[in-house]
Amino acid sequence: MKTDDLIRSLAADDTPRLSLARALVYGFLPGMVLSLIFYALVIGPRPHLAELLPAPRILFKIAFPIAVFACAGPLALQLARPRGDPRPLVYVLIGLLVVLAAAVVIELLVLPPDLWRVRFIGHNARVCLVLIPLMSAAPLVGTLIALHRGAASNPGLAGAVAGLFAGAFGAALYATHCPDDSPLFVATWYSLAILIVMSVGALAGSRFLRW
Amino acid sequence: MRADRNSEWGSLLRAANSGDSLAYQRFLRELAPVLRAFVRRLLARTSSGSAEVEDIVQEVLLAIHLKRQTWIETAPVSPWVFTIARHKTIDALRRRGRHIDVPIDDFAESLAADNDEPNLAGVYIDRQLGTLPEVQRKVVQAIAVTGDSISEAAEKLTMTQGAVRVALHRGLAAIAARTAKGGGTV
């Protein structure tokens, strides 16, 4: 085929284009709704959540994944654009990791050492490792479908960040159910659960986000 | 002239995004010789024929078309274009079992367009066309090779214009998807 002929057919294809940001919203929402339905029907919020909410540990455990979520979405979009600039958002993420580390240090300072182990292990580590990835699965699929419209230079990395985005959502949702409030627990088990989702995202992305 | 290129491509592509298909066609036509020079430059150290160069140019044009939504209207166009071009060129060479490691930033922006050679042809897309579902193949052929408009193609193939549009877009996307899966070595 002549290049000029190809160009003519490309110009004739006037299918309207969805912006990447909008595609991410449309892709994520159905997955989010599925997870919310699962949450409402199967696990639900912990008892007396509203009364407990002012406690700094509980506030932190819910707000932290929300902050990661808010950062990972735009970061995924930057990674899906040729010549996108992920750096500012990477700095924000590093900042969030510093905040998490600080929360762990403060917890170690205020908590008597004989409680460290108890708080770190918590009641529900295994449930956490199952429920966070479970509630992240559908949002991850939707996110990857949206990013498929993009052009990621590094598909595996874009997939991992999609996993961070979906995993942080799952973690924020799970945080309203989970009875373990210590930053020691959050920093270990929530992170591990999100890392699982990120690994799945990286693996899926390295295949599905190639273009 | 190079600085002009960015702003000229930018205004053409902005016009294209708001529905001006003539501006879009002009944008792609102006892009083609520059991409050709770019691909030739990257392939200079490999023994590649001109059909191979043209195949890669066409793959890049197809990718630019299908990934148009990844360009932000306020961003400069040519870094975006050359990033896609480099990605597709490296990808095409990898499929052929070769590697190149050439930094592009130092030459891409200063690249002059190769002489306009509108009749250069590739073989890759024709080969991919043969593997498309019949309707998509017929629509792409009618519009690309025969030069029909959407409405002419619709009349000839007794389809609605909407169906022709869908088949055209799906056909082009399918050709691109096949390369992304690593299929169809040339």
For chain A, the domains span: 57-208
Q: What are phi and psi of A2, to 5 degrees?
A: -75, 145
Nearest to A211 among B19, B63, B172 (CB): B63
Put simply, the answer to whether A12 touches B69 (Cβ < 8 Å) is: no
- Which residues are registered as beta bridge partners of B178? none
Tens place of pLDDT per residue across chain B (186 aa): 456 788 899 999 999 988 898 999 999 999 999 999 999 888 876 766 777 889 999 999 999 999 999 999 889 999 999 999 999 998 888 887 766 666 665 566 667 766 666 577 888 888 888 899 999 999 999 999 888 999 999 999 999 999 999 999 999 999 998 877 654 443
Name the DSSP letter for residue B181: T
A85 Cβ under 8 Å from any chain B Cβ: no
Q: State how far the Cα of A126 lies from the Cα of A130, in Å rounded to an integer.
A: 6
The token duo for B161 is: 């214009």
Q: What is the CATH number of the domain that holds B159?
A: 1.10.10.10
From B82, B101, B121, give the residue that closes a domain.
B121
Block residue for tokens 């990257």:
B42
Residue B40: name the closest of B117, B121, B119, B114 by CA. Answer: B114
3-state secondary structure of B98: coil
Contact B184, B124 (CB under 8 A): yes
Contacts of A85 in chain B (CB under 8 A): none
Please say which residue of B77, B100, B121 terminates a domain.
B121
For chain B, the domain total comes to 2
- Report the alpha-carbon distance of residue A191 to residue A201 in Å, rounded: 15
Place of tokens 């009618």: B142
Residue B8 shares a structural domain with residue B92: yes
CB contact under 8 A, B150 and A12: yes
* Nearest C-alpha neighbor of B110 from the set B26, B13, B8, B3: B3
Q: Give the residue from chain B lying closest to A19, CA to CA.
A: B69
In 3D, which of B23, B72, B82 has the Cα closest to residue A10? Answer: B23
Condensed to tens digits (0 to 9), the pLDDT of residues A32-49 reads 999 999 999 999 999 888
Same domain assignment for residues B36 and B74:
yes
% of chain A with per-residue pLDDT over 90: 86
Residues B9 and B69 both lie in one domain: yes
Cβ <8 Å between A151 and B67:
yes
Residue A70's pLDDT band (cuts 50, 70, 90): very high
Tell whether A41 lies on the interface with B, counting CB pairs under 8 A. no
Residues in Cβ contact with A155 at an 8 Å cutoff, skipping those fewer than 6 apart: A205, A206, A207, A208, A209, A210, A211
Give the closest residue to A165 by CA, choosing from A206, A105, A205, A120. A205
State the complex-level ipTM. 0.89
The answer to whether residues B66 and B158 belong to one domain is no
CB contact A81 to B (< 8 Å): yes
Same domain, B154 and B73: no
- 3-state SS of B9-45 is HHHHHHHHHCCCHHHHHHHHHHHHHHHHHHHHHHCCC
pLDDT of B2 reads 59
d(CA A26, nearest CA chain B) in Å = 15
Residue reference for tokens 């002012």: A54
Range of the domain at B137: 123-186
C-alpha span between B55 and B40 (Å, rounded) = 12
Rounded Cα distance between A8 and B88, Å, is 21
Closest chain A C-alpha to B120 CA, distance in angstroms: 6
Which of B80, B143, B180 is closest, CB to CB, to A12?
Answer: B143
- Do the chains contact at B21 and A81, CB–CB below 8 Å? no
What gap in Å lies between CA B185 and CA B183, rounded to an integer? Answer: 6
Cα A55 from Cα A73, distance rounded (Å): 28
- Tell whether A80 is within 8 A of chain B (Cβ): yes
